[in-house]
Structure 1
Amino acid sequence: MSTDPILLDVENAIATITINRAETLNALDVPTIRAMHIVLDKVETDPDVRVLVFTGAGRAFIAGGDIADLNSRQGLAHYQEFAEEIHNLFRRIETFDKPTIGAVNGFALGGGTELLLALDIRILSDKAKLGLPEITLGLFPGAGGTQRIIRQLPLCRAKEIMYTGDMLTPEEAVSVGLANRVVPHDTLMDSVRDTAAKIAHKSPLVLKLLKRTLSDGGDMPLSAALRHEQAMIGLVLDSADAHEGCGAFLEKREATFKGR
């Protein structure tokens, strides 16, 4: 078994990124964050990778930050190192030009739920547990969670999750809009790969432009976002993939997208 904190496997256009610190329930620390950047550098420039899947080794997705490490820090040092690094990582993942999927195999607490909030699609094992329990430690979510969750969930539900620190069952997480669906634990990776494969067959160029349109537009007033969408669909219509897709529909054949 590799001791690398982040493992990468690429197969059939799908990159599976595994947080590999099972002995700490995949708690995040600075070396793990930096190792994740190295892996992202590889898949970002690999034209054969079209979808990224994130999962965890053992019985956790990510059980949060490394509490012993956090307890050793003071505010300024934390702000300048760990907080800066994890914010940069999660923002990079959130705005990554390739679609991302979370395969939540177990505990996704604290930083685990905060990472999920930065992923495009979230599929949960029926053994998963989600939550932001930082308040029980005299803390609150500090890896972007406070801001992403209030933009994705009704404000009253987001506040309840953060104020109480209670864990959510997979079904509760789906019901509030924190995840897409729950699947049996033994079929989690098959279900995730099926979804990833379906996306990987679409145009990587159009997916990139779509994701940028969604990400940028979410930060704009509606009037500006609509103008942004209008400009971006114009770019899409300059692509060979758009005309390949339309041509395939008219000719009643399967489209072959090449990312051009």
Structure 2
Amino acid sequence: MTITNKKLEDAFVKYESLLYEVENKIAIVTINRPPVNPLNTAVFKELTQLMTELESREDVHAIILTGSGEKAFVAGADIREMLELDAVDMLEMNQISRKTFSTIENLAKPVIAAINGLALGGGLELALSCDLRIASEKAKFAFPEINLGIIPGGGGTQRLQRIVGQGIAKELLYFGEMITAEQALEWHIVNKVVPSENLLAEAKAWAAKLAEKPQVALRMLKLAVNSGANVDIESGLTIEMACFGNTFATKDRKEGMQAFVEKRQPKFTGR
């Protein structure tokens, strides 16, 4: 990813472990703690802050989240930090990380994880909190926590099984073994696998498509899917109906339907 000196300077002034740039309605956020970009308390707080800021920016319609370098997306939590924590301190860190993952999962804008390398433990939990996941063919995935005498604490036991089902989730969680990008694709952990050199371009292409969609409808769609996943079918249908009603009150709905009738491309304004 090419970042101008000014953007690089601005990113470092405000965020010690994150880089970001905004262009053509797309924000690219890079976790920058080489060589393997581990997550610690400071990174969690920065991610929550930056994602919240990007959510409020009208010039951002879609977000790409990736890791610096080619070795890792995020190779888990910072074990050096965790080693010094007692149970009370760990609970506090766990609450901070939970806020970060929930913020990303429930952000009003779509978030694409561009998984450029290892996605282990907390790194895989971070990817699972995103809406869509594109992986480099060199990426590898695992929940190795069992081998450290702990379990995932950032939503891994919950989000994973909702995507792949309990059987596959338990296989990954119980054994703690690494899987390839192709296996992750087969198990629907990722949506697409591409050559490493094409990863960011593919993520940008997806983000560009999403950036041109009617923003209120996209927000309501995400809300309906996420909220409906955690309730019974009747409650889910009620949520869907409310979200559908909200889209009908927008100018973009009228423009989309008018464009369809007139056989032309719609010009959405986000209103």
Shared topology, TM-score over 0.5?
yes
Residue 112 (structure 1) aligns with = 123
Question: What's the RMSD between the two structures over aligned residues?
Answer: 1.1
Secondary structure (helix, strand or coil) at the match of 1:22 reads: coil
**How far apart, CA to CA, are the structure 1 residues paired with 2:174 and 2:52?**
36
Report whether the alignment pairs 1:242 with 2:253: yes
Runs of 4+ deviating beyond 3 Å: none
The CA deviation at 1:231 is 2.0
- Residue type of the partner of 2:20? L
Report whether the alignment pairs 1:154 with 2:165: yes
| Pairing partner for 1:18 from 30, 35, 41 | 30
Residue 208 (structure 1) aligns with = 219
Residue 183 (structure 1) aligns with = 194
- Residue type of the partner of 1:9? E
**How far apart, CA to CA, are the structure 2 residues paired with 1:230 and 1:205?**
15
Do the aligned residues in 1 keep the contact of 2:52 with 2:103 (CA within 8 Å)?
no
- Structure 1 spans left out of the alignment, 5+ residues: none
**How far apart, CA to CA, are the structure 1 residues paired with 2:49 and 2:161?**
30
The CA deviation at 1:32 is 1.1
1:167-187 deviations in whole A, cap 9, x for unaligned? 110000010110101000000
Do the aligned residues in 1 keep the contact of 2:141 with 2:184 (CA within 8 Å)?
yes
| Pairing partner for 1:227 from 229, 238, 249 | 238
**How far apart, CA to CA, are the structure 1 residues paired with 2:146 and 2:21?**
35
Secondary structure (helix, strand or coil) at the match of 2:125 reads: helix
Do the aligned residues in 1 keep the contact of 2:51 with 2:103 (CA within 8 Å)?
no
Residue 184 (structure 2) aligns with = 173
The CA deviation at 1:42 is 2.1
Residue identity over aligned pairs, in percent, reads 38
**How far apart, CA to CA, are the structure 1 residues paired with 2:17 and 2:141?**
22
The CA deviation at 1:113 is 0.6
Residue 8 (structure 1) aligns with = 20
Residue 3 (structure 2) aligns with = none
- Residue type of the partner of 2:189? L
Residue 100 (structure 2) aligns with = 89
Residue 70 (structure 1) aligns with = 82
Structure 1-normalised TM-score?
A: 0.97
**How far apart, CA to CA, are the structure 1 residues paired with 2:75 and 2:176?**
13
**How far apart, CA to CA, are the structure 1 residues paired with 2:129 and 2:43?**
17
The CA deviation at 1:54 is 0.3
Secondary structure (helix, strand or coil) at the match of 2:226 reads: helix
Residue 208 (structure 2) aligns with = 197
1:47-72 deviations in whole A, cap 9, x for unaligned? 11000100000121000000111111
Summarize the alignment of residues 102-141 of structure 1 with structure 2, pairs less than 5 Å apart.
102-141=113-152
The CA deviation at 1:116 is 1.2
Deviates more, 1:35-44 or 1:245-254: 35-44
Structure 2-normalised TM-score?
A: 0.93
**How far apart, CA to CA, are the structure 1 residues paired with 2:41 and 2:59?**
29
**How far apart, CA to CA, are the structure 1 residues paired with 2:108 and 2:171?**
32
**How far apart, CA to CA, are the structure 2 residues paired with 1:9 and 1:42?**
13
- Structure 2 spans left out of the alignment, 5+ residues: 1-7
**How far apart, CA to CA, are the structure 1 residues paired with 2:28 and 2:48?**
14
The CA deviation at 1:34 is 1.3
Deviates more, 1:40-49 or 1:50-59: 40-49
Residue-pair matches, total:
258
